[in-house]
């Protein structure tokens, strides 16, 4: 268990460090956006939103490691289909958590450029999910994954009311 937690931590840190910290920071620097002179309501809201997104992403990584015995990395995937924790409500909560975290940074910095980054990130993740992740999971977990897809939406939370998803989105 400790080995899978260590691997998940390393892979998540590299992904978060590059895609969710380094690239957005480069975009802000390129656009000439600096940190705020003072912490106001927007910055407090941005910090709260970013923290909530980060907490969701961390919950996802831990769920992959503990319930799935694997990591979010495509080259070290979970050995078991993960349908617990945040995956009970939406099929891709780790990407949503990441997008929420960067969205919080956009609010903090008052930077529409980061909102555009979030949109681009979600578009790339959608293509990755549809073209790679879902076919791979279907091959790996077969009917169990098909049933999961019927019950849980890809991007919008489902199951909060106990009703299954009516579609895959």
User: How confident is the model at residue 104, as a pLDDT?
Assistant: 96
- Whether the predicted pLDDT of 19 surpasses 60: yes
* Domain presence at residue 160: no
| DSSP per position, 126-166 | HHHIIIIIHHHHHHHHHHHHHHHHHHS-SSS--SSSSPPPS
* Domain presence at residue 77: yes
Section 152-163 average pLDDT: 77
Residue range(s) defining the domain that contains residue 108: 2-151
* Domain presence at residue 130: yes
* Domain presence at residue 118: yes
pTM over 0.75: yes
Q: How confident is the model at residue 169 (pLDDT cuts 50, 70, 90)?
A: low
* Structural domain count, the chain: 1
* Domain presence at residue 29: yes
User: How confident is the model at residue 121, as a pLDDT?
Assistant: 95
Percentage of residues in the chain having pLDDT higher than 70: 93
* Domain presence at residue 68: yes
């Amino acid at each position: 268990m400790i080995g899978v937690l260590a691997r998940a931590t390393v892979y998540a840190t590299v992904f978060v460090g590059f895609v969710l910290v380094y690239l957005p920071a480069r975009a802000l620097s390129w656009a000439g956006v600096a940190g705020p002179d003072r912490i106001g309501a927007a910055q407090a809201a941005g910090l709260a939103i970013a923290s909530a997104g980060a907490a969701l992403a961390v919950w996802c990584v831990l769920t992959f490691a503990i319930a799935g015995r694997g990591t979010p990395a495509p080259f070290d995937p979970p050995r078991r289909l993960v349908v617990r924790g945040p995956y009970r409500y939406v099929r891709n909560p780790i990407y949503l958590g990441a997008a929420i975290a960067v969205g919080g940074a956009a609010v903090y910095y008052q930077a529409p450029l980061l909102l555009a980054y979030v949109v681009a990130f979600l578009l790339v993740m959608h293509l990755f999910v549809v073209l790679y992740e879902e076919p791979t999971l279907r091959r790996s977990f077969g009917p169990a994954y098909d049933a999961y897809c019927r019950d849980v939406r890809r991007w919008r939370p489902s199951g909060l009311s106990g009703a299954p998803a009516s579609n895959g989105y």
